[in-house]
Structure 1
Amino acid sequence: MKYFVSPYNKETKIKLPDKITIYDTTLRDGEQTPGVCFKKEEKLEIAKKLDQFKIHQIEAGFPIVSEHERKSIKNIVNENLNAKIISLARCRKEDIDAAIECGVDGVITFLGTSDIHLQHKMNISREEAIDVITSTIEYAKDHGLFVAFSAEDATRTDLDFLKRIYKQAESYKVDRVHIADTVGAITPQGITYLIQELRKEVKTDIAMHCHNDFGMAVINSISGVIAGGNAISTTVNGIGERAGNASLEETVMAFKILYGKDLGFKTKYIQELSEMVSKYSELKIPRNKPIVGKNVFRHESGIHVDAVIEEPLTYEPYMPEIVGQKRQLVLGKHSGCRAVKAKLDECGLDVTKDKLCEIVEKVKEQREEGTYINDDVFVEIVKSINKKEDD
């Protein structure tokens, strides 16, 4: 693997947990993106690709939603994937029963815990909330499930009350507690403080489920792990409600390249996974999307192209093949002779030095007039220059 990042990263001396669990919720929270509805077959294909990627856990859906949802989840369970299959459940017996019917390995139970949720959505007291949470955990554990409890709107919940909830959940043998940053309202410094405070009293695994309303979902998730958490919720392409969730590809590659923590994923499948989810969700991948965008390994500027031809790491932090991408040298108004020569070689064309300079000028001229210089256009430019010379 070839990559080159800032040597100053090592000077921070960050200690990460030996084991970090990534559970992907593309098929549940990702599908809650307005306008997205995966077909049963599409959910299965995404789950299989996630498993090929070696994801640790797949949150396959929300069983209580519908019979179709339950069939989709069962379809995934029956595939006998290596990843653990979990599903979402409200703190209600019927939700746990629906999950059990699907044959999942575990459940993520959730309840709003901030005062604004308790008063305006749940209409229950703090004490009632704790009773509901613990009784649900107990019921799910009695049925042999892996059980996580997610405090919805945890990052706007009173700290002492949040500690009480998690300690009570712990006493009922919960396997993991989740901090849901439901409206993306915390900062990296805030999540660091919160985790450090919780770790004074909570010993069980702590996961981050971060939303991206302020563009901080990935860094908040990573900051939470650095502070003492050990699990992260992600979605492919960062899809999800409103501004989306922590992006799987950005989180994984940040750990792998910037923090030197290889989580064992087959990153060469990232591009395929991204494009599959984009296709089935009908949500286009922005060209400048980190890791998977088409422009991430495309170069046009003459100065950049000259350097990249000599040594790709001059303008790339890692080689594109690591994530299943390919490098592209794009011709345009900023292109120079070396870029055009590389394109000529790629197309199997040979010209004199004088013609090369003419081609460069023609490329610039046509691009500024609004023509995109693809291979067909480029070949026509070369033909026109050669024809002019022949005439």
Structure 2
Amino acid sequence: MEKRRIQIFDTTLRDGEQVPGAQLNTKKKLKIAKQLEVLGVDIIEAGFPASSPGDYKSVHDICKSIKNPIICALSRAVKKDIEIAASSLKYAKRSRIHTGIGTSDCHIRYKFNSTPEKIMSIAIEAVKYAKKFVEDVEFYAEDAGRTKNDFLAKICENVIKNGATVINIPDTTGACLPEEYGEKIHFLKENVKGIHKIVLSTHCHNDLGLATANSLKGIINGAQQVECTINGIGERAGNTSLEEIVMIIKQNKYLNLYTNINTQLITPTSHLVSKCTGIKVQVNKAIVGVNAFSHSSGIHQDGIIKKKETYEYINPKDVGIEKSLIILTARSGRAALYYRYKKLGYFLNKTSLKLIYSIFLKYADKQQKEITDKELKKILKNSNLHKKEIKILNHSRNRKIINVF
């Protein structure tokens, strides 16, 4: 069976930028956009041009500089917004307007003080108007996660009839469980006339920590596009993490899916976004956190040293990390200590290792932190070992030399 390609729609520059304190200027947005192009994303949502002159300029400049990905501009279902979005996309090689409106009972009643019938009319008119400017029009049904499936299906069918090429099903508040979200996508695939002619997209938020799981369930049930951000940044608890969904697809062959992402550029891209936004990546973040490929438990270290696959499901090189790390703490074992000394050029026999390890544990317990190479050398120097018990490896000559010091 032929693999199905999942399109990666990156919204780091739009939804991702909405995280407090992460406003990006045009120069930084352009730098990130160029990296996203090299990374291999299919669509870059460059911004919300009607929101500010600065965002308009960012989208405008990105369109001039990016060749391969589709450049997408967000708008509300308002004619003026759509006109500004279209103007900002003037120089795009391939352009898309992303317009829409809230569809849940909560949004219709409290946000818009409206009715389902009026919302339906506004949605149709927005798509029709956007279609006058660009061929590729994406419609978002905001708060689709809490929208009744029957009404959601009706609104999807009507915007498809009027020219929508992509339908975005956002779980705006992160309220859905994976099965619930997957069933929603499945319902639309089975009950919306013309749905197979367009691209169905997931857009999930992480309020309950389920954004990636919900996106996965969405594509398993037929969605062809995932909207996500680098490092999972975004409003409140953030968005679906690009690196997570991409690596899930890459690692799980039974899914029979693939993306065009060059995964070896994931870590450099993560670092760039973190630097530009000023938003640090949590240390235990999947794929790109500094601890994602670090091992400090003695049991884990022993397994990793013997065979990496014992405790590493992902090859660090696949995401742009040269190698995993053996971190020495008071929880580390003899195997890790031996390994690290060997990396430094010291070969300890069993007697030496036993003595050094006891000294190391006392030192590590006292320091309560990672033990550095400099400290390892200090421990060795102060160990009072018989000088003939330690071999020094001369790496430059690629041969062992026994030194008596």
Q: Specify if TM > 0.5.
A: yes
Of 173, 184, 201, the residue aligned with 2:163 is 173
Q: Which residue of 2 aligns with 1:224?
A: 218
Q: Which one of 344, 347, 351 corresponds to residue 347 of structure 1?
A: 344
- Which residue of 2 is the match for residue 11 of structure 1? none
CA distance in 1, matches of 2:84, 2:385: 72
CA-CA distance at 1:208 after TM superposition: 0.9
1:155 alignment counterpart: 145
Q: Is the 8 A contact 2:3 2:257 kept in 1?
A: no
Other-structure match for 1:336: 333
Aligned amino acid, residue 123 of structure 2: I
Report the equivalent of 1:292. 288
Once the two structures are TM-superposed, the CA of residue 386 in structure 1 deviates from its matched residue by: 4.8
**Quick check: 1:308 aligned with 2:282?**
no
- Farther-moved stretch of structure 1 (355-364 vs 24-33): 355-364
| Residues 1:89 and 2:89 aligned together | no
Match of 1:120 among 93, 110, 115: 110
Unpaired stretches in structure 2, ≥5 consecutive residues: 388-403
* Rg comparison, structure with higher value: 2
Runs of at least 4 residues off by over 3 Å: 350-353, 386-391
Q: Which residue of 1 aligns with 2:47?
A: 61
Letter of the 1:300 counterpart: S
Shift of 1:337: 2.5
Contact 1:33 1:244 in 2 (8 A): yes
Shift of 1:119: 1.5
* Identity among equivalent pairs (%): 37
Supply the distance in 2 between the matched residues of 1:195 and 1:51 (Cα, whole angstroms): 28
Partner of 2:398: none
1:269 aligned onto 2:265:
yes
The one of 277, 280, 289 aligned to 2:276 = 280
Q: Distance in 1 between matches of 2:220 and 2:349?
A: 57
Bigger Cα displacement from structure 2, 162-171 vs 197-206: 197-206
Residue type at the aligned position of 2:98: I
8 Å Cα contact 1:332/1:363 also seen in 2: no
SS at match of 2:81: helix
Equivalent residue runs for 1:108-257 within 5 Å: 108-202=98-192, 203=195, 204-257=198-251
1:338-367 CA deviation, whole Å, 9 max, x = no partner?
212221121123444433222222222122
Residue in structure 2 matched with residue 70 of structure 1 by the alignment:
56
TM-score w.r.t. length of structure 1: 0.92
2:9 pairs, out of 23, 26, 38, with: 23
User: Any conservation in 2 of the 1:17–1:230 contact (CA below 8 Å)?
Assistant: no
Indicate if the aligned counterparts of 1:17 and 1:225 stay in contact, CA closer than 8 A. no
Q: CA deviation at 1:307?
A: 2.1
User: 2:4 touches 2:256 (CA, 8 Å); kept in 1?
Assistant: no
Q: 1:41, CA displacement in angstroms?
A: 1.4
When normalised by structure 2's length, the TM-score is 0.89
Count residues with an aligned counterpart.
Answer: 377
Distance in 2 of aligned mates of 1:248 and 1:70: 25
**CA separation of 1:75/1:128 partners in 2, compared to 1, >3 Å: closer, same or farther?**
same
Residue of structure 2 equivalent to 1:33: 19
CA distance in 2, matches of 1:243, 1:351: 48
The aligned counterpart of 2:379 is 381
Task: Kindly provide the amino acid, as one letter, of the partner of residue 35 in structure 1.
Answer: G
Which shows bigger deviation, 367-376 or 128-137? 367-376
* Native 8 Å contact 2:16 2:233 kept in 1: yes
**Alpha-carbon distance between aligned partners in 1 of 2:3 and 2:130, rounded to the nearest angstrom:** 28
User: Which SS does the other structure have where 2:62 is aligned?
Assistant: helix
Distance in 2 separating the partners of 1:348 and 1:32 = 49
Aligned-partner Cα distance in 2 for 1:208–1:371 = 42
The match for 1:8 is none
Partner Cα separation in structure 1 for residue 67 and residue 380 of structure 2 = 52
